[in-house]
Structure 1
Amino acid sequence: MTSYTHGHQASVLRAHSWRTAQNSCAYLLSYVKPDMSILDVGCGPGTITVDLACLVPQGHVTGIEPSAEQEEVLDKARHLASSQGVTNLTFSRGDGHNLPFPDNMFDVVHAHQVLQHVADPVKVLSEMKRVVKSAGGIIAVRDIDYASMVWHPPSKGLSDWHEMYERTARANGGEPNAGRVLLSWALKAGIPRDCIEPMVGTWCFSKSEEKEWWSGTWAERVVQSALAKSAVEHGISTEAELQEMATAWKSWCVAPDAWFAMLHGELICRL
């Protein structure tokens, strides 16, 4: 059993709402055709999902989240779609370990930053393989590799935050370095190696407004989110230590030479 490390507090949703198809699944976009059916597993607030729906005007996109706890998040996604006049999509509940869809249903099954949090990523990939079309279907997954994160200038507070996050994510049953094992998981899920194209993608925050936003979300999340609660409950950090990490985030971003980069593993699986 896993516990979603980030939670769904406002600070988390602000961070997740920054994500678009272009900055989070660019590796997939050249394969998308206007009449495709797409399943977005773990859609969150729906910003990527809505973008994908705009790319398939003759098709349809389905976004799912696993439990009743995420219903408010799905309502935000529905509101976003409505506000943009996007109607060729549906948001509903569904667990990636047991997708509520028949075999061979979707042209594309996509998951962004999901496998790092699930109890059994191989099972989720197996389910994605089951519901994607067996002839011509595409599975697309992307996940962060926390150990590959780099930043400047050096900051003990950010180093402490990084260690705290990895330990907390693992205590919650996840794998914070999922990006590096996506290929291994896909092979264990029965996806043939010659169908898989592994890639890497990056995010880099270096402009003043980017750094202010990125550090601000983490400064809040590290003290007011499910992450903070889990870190304290697991005995990984104290509230005082988390507050020091939040302060470090705020101090880091004001340096004129500050930047933060992160690597993601990406897979395109063409069946």
Structure 2
Amino acid sequence: MTAQYTHGHHDSVVRSHSWRTAENSCGYFLSCIRPDMHILDVGCGPGTITADLAKRVPQGHVTGIECSAEDVLQTAREQAAAQGLTNLTYSIGDVLSLPFSDASFDVVHAHQVLQHVPDPVLALKEMYRVAKPGGIVVARDTDFSAMTWYPKSSEGISLWHTTHMNVGRKNGGEPDSGRRLLSYALEAGIPRQQITATASTWCYSAAEDVAWWSSTWADRVRLSTFASSALEYGFATEENLEEMSSAWKTWGEQPDAWFALLHGEILCRKC
């Protein structure tokens, strides 16, 4: 059993994920980080969060892993080198069977990963296993059903939303994992008193943010693995994909365009 990633690693996806930083994606646990910590970043993608975390642990080390996409990892290595970062490494690894010994890391982090994993409870067990006593396991995931946007005049984005959830579940994931993180952690055997569950949002409303968000999705719905999967599973036609792409472009041109994403978060302390 391996993780099955709905989006794939097309340039449009990597471009979108490269926007992510520790500041806009990890605020719920940044105060826990010390300069000498060893951190594991699970599902690191293009490594922008990984690199930001490495800057916060100059006397420590960060390890980023992806279950596939060696080319994406190589780009992450090159970007880290360009920033002069020497305290991080990238490698292939599966969160369902982490290639590390017990109690190896002070922080084990997963951002937008558990929603794509066929067994998020096993993933959290593995993350907890490799965390040191006194360390933390942290995860943040989108809750797709809680996404909301304005204007809602076009049916194309609503069609995208429904299709995306159908594809994610067909791939064995759960697009509404954000609301389930606390439940996953409890099922993984982590004591309730060791878990802090919170939520935060991304909101795109500034003109440049709206333009970026709409353009990336206009490309992703036609060119990423999501598109090929939607066609293969019969959830969409080529005409549907074009309708979704056009709707994203049109939405991004509206002066009152606004989009908000809710994320669930858990911080689990290991005693």
TM over 0.5: yes
Q: Does 1:80 align with 2:79?
A: yes
Partner of 1:19: 20
Equivalent-residue separation in structure 1 for 2:61 and 2:147 (angstroms): 35
1:42-121 correspondence runs (5 A): 42-67=43-68, 70-121=69-120
Pairwise CA distance, 1:253: 1.1
Give structure 1 regions of 4+ aligned residues with deviation exceeding 6 angstroms: none
Partner amino acid, structure 1, of 2:59 = Q
TM-superposed CA distance for 1:254, in Å, is 1.1
Task: Name the residue aligned to 1:219.
Answer: 218
Partner of 1:41: 42
Q: Distance in 1 between matches of 2:240 and 2:99?
A: 42
Deviations along 1:226-246, one digit per CA (max 9) or x if unpaired, are: 000000000000011110010
Superposed CA deviations along residues 239-269 of structure 1, whole A, max 9, x for unmatched, are 1111001000000011111100010000111
Matched with 2:159 is 160
- Which runs of 5 or more structure 2 residues have no equivalent in the other structure? none
CA deviation after TM superposition for structure 1 residue 205, in Å:
0.2
CA distance in structure 2 between the partners assigned to 1:253 and 1:89 by the alignment? 37
Q: Give, in whole Å, the separation in 1 of the partners of 2:60 and 2:224.
A: 37
Residue type matched to 1:263 in 2? L
Listed one character per residue, the Cα deviations across residues 40-75 of structure 1 (whole Å, up to 9, x for unaligned) are 0010000000000000000000000113xx100110
Return the letter of the residue paired with 2:33: V
Secondary structure, in 3 states, of the residue corresponding to 2:103? coil
Matching residue of 1:229:
228
Is 1:29 paired with 2:27?
no
How far apart in 2 are the matches of 1:189 and 1:213? 37
Give the CA deviation at 1:3.
2.8
Give, in whole Å, the separation in 2 of the partners of 1:225 and 1:101: 31
Q: In the TM superposition, what is the alpha-carbon distance from 1:119 to its structure 2 partner?
A: 1.5
TM-score (normalised: structure 2): 0.98
- State the distance in 1 between where 2:91 and 2:265 align: 25
Q: What residue identity is the alignment partner of 1:60?
A: H
1:143 is matched with 141
SS at match of 2:115: coil
RMSD over aligned Cα, in angstroms?
A: 0.8
CA distance in 1, matches of 2:238, 2:29: 40
Percent identical: 61
TM-score if structure 1 supplies the norm length? 0.98
**In 2: Cα distance, 1:21 partner to 1:140 partner:** 13
Alpha-carbon distance in 2 for matches of 1:168, 1:98? 24
